Amino acid sequence: MFIMVFLAKRLAQGTLIVVLVAFVIFTLLRVVPGDPVRLMAGGMAPETLIEQIATEMGLRDPIPVQFGRYIASVAQGDLGQSFMRPASGAAVGGASFDDMTRSERARVLDLIAEAAPKTLQLALLAMVFALIVAVPIGVAGGLHPGRWPDRMALYLGSVFVSLPNFWLGIVLALLLSVKLGWLPAIGYRGFAYTVLPAIVLAVEMAPFIIRTLTVSVAQIMRQSFIDIARIRGLSRLQIIVRHALKNASVPLLNLLGVQFSMLLGGVLVVEFIFDYPGLGLLTINAVLQRDFPLIQGIAIVTSAAFVLINIAVDLATTAIDPRLEY
């Protein structure tokens, strides 16, 4: 019962958030300088032709009208077509305003469906790497506050957090791909291409996980129920695994939710450095090309993902700590 009410309420809120995000992006794109029709048709196209194309595409209607039309088609599952990208692959633009294949533009949904799984794969792998490194260090730090594991967690975190990701990406590519030839670095032709960018992202995420865990484990270990558990006859292992870690996982889950959302939103720098064909790279190109439908599509999909991740995190934390039921 509770869970149905909760889901219905949160999904309704989420839909509203997604629509608001879509509206803000939609409006902003249309008020900033830069005419997509000019980019599409090319610098040499005559002014009348541009006006004609623009009118045909409905780009000269008032913004609310355009938005209404757009959101209606989104509701039917149609995110529209890219202004720039043909279904065939090669970019359209320049002098090809009279190119007959222009009508064969790629559907936004297809573009996203192609890029999103790669980003998802990258995000999941990065998170797994980060957790493998950070959980033991963070928990050890939290269990021995003030002693060497705690200090090591702090120093390691500080080092990780101060490595710039573009620098680390380039250094790792040089070392692991160019010098040692262990891992491929540029582009995407299989799972192995995910590893290197995932390592870079994991190094970026790990310090936050270490810090959160150290603090929350140390805090839980000071609670009286942990102290009393020993007098009640529980073993130390039982206390740590069943009670301390369970309680400490709530702040960790909240952090992971936020981090995962950020990763899904596209890791712009890392995907750009490794030329990794995920949502981040797609976003960068879409912005450079003023590809309105694509930018909007990405915004809608990622904000929907944020909403869903948040709901999942809240459900998970409520399952762990029923006091959070809200």
Partner 1 sequence: MTGDSLLSVQNLCVDLNTSAGSTAILRDISFEIATRQIVGVIGASGSGKTVLARALASWLSPPLGISAGRILFQGRDLVADAGLAKRLSGREIAYVGGNPAGALDPTMTVGTQIVEKLRAVRPGISVTDARKRAIELLSAVRIPAAHQRFHEYPFQYSGGMMQRAMIVDALISDPALLIADNITQPLDVTIAAQILKLLRELANEFDTGVLFVCSSLPVACDASDRVMVLHGGQVVEQQPPAALVQRPRHAYTQGLIAELPRLWDETTPAPMHGDARQPIMSVRGVSRSYSVRKPGGLGKVQVQAVRQVDFDVYAGDNFGVVGESGCGKSSLMRLLTGLEQPDSGEVLFEGTNVSTSSSAELRRLRRRFQLVLQDPYGSLPPQSTIGAILEEPLKIHRIGSARERRARAAEVMNEVGLPPSLYHELPMGLSAGQRQRVNVARAMILEPRLLIMDETLSALDQTEQGKMLSLFERLQAQHGFTYIFISHDLAMVRRVCSRIAVMYLGETVEVAPNRKLFFDPAHPYSRALLSAAPTLEQRRYRPEECLLEGEPPSPIDLPPGCSFANRCPHAFDRCRLESPRLRSSGEGALSACFLHQPSSQRATTAELLR
Residues that bind partner 1 (CB under 8 A): 1-2, 5, 223-225, 228-235, 238, 242-243, 246-247, 320-323, 325-326
Smallest distance from partner 1 to CB 20, Å: 25
Whose Cβ is closer to partner 1: residue 13's or residue 235's? 235
In whole angstroms, give the CA distance from residue 270 to residue 264. 12
Smallest distance from partner 1 to CB 230, Å: 8
Smallest distance from partner 1 to CB 3, Å: 10
CA 5 to chain centre: 28
**In contact, 295 and 90? CB cutoff 8 Å:** no
Three-state DSSP state, 117: helix
Smallest distance from partner 1 to CB 212, Å: 17
| Torsion sign, CA atoms 138, 142, 148, 152 | positive
Which DSSP state fits 1?
Answer: -
**In contact, 272 and 258? CB cutoff 8 Å:** no
Smallest distance from partner 1 to CB 13, Å: 15
Whose Cβ is closer to partner 1: residue 6's or residue 272's? 6
**In contact, 266 and 298? CB cutoff 8 Å:** yes
Whose Cβ is closer to partner 1: residue 162's or residue 224's? 224
Whose Cβ is closer to partner 1: residue 40's or residue 239's? 239
Three-state DSSP state, 191: coil
Whose Cβ is closer to partner 1: residue 93's or residue 142's? 142
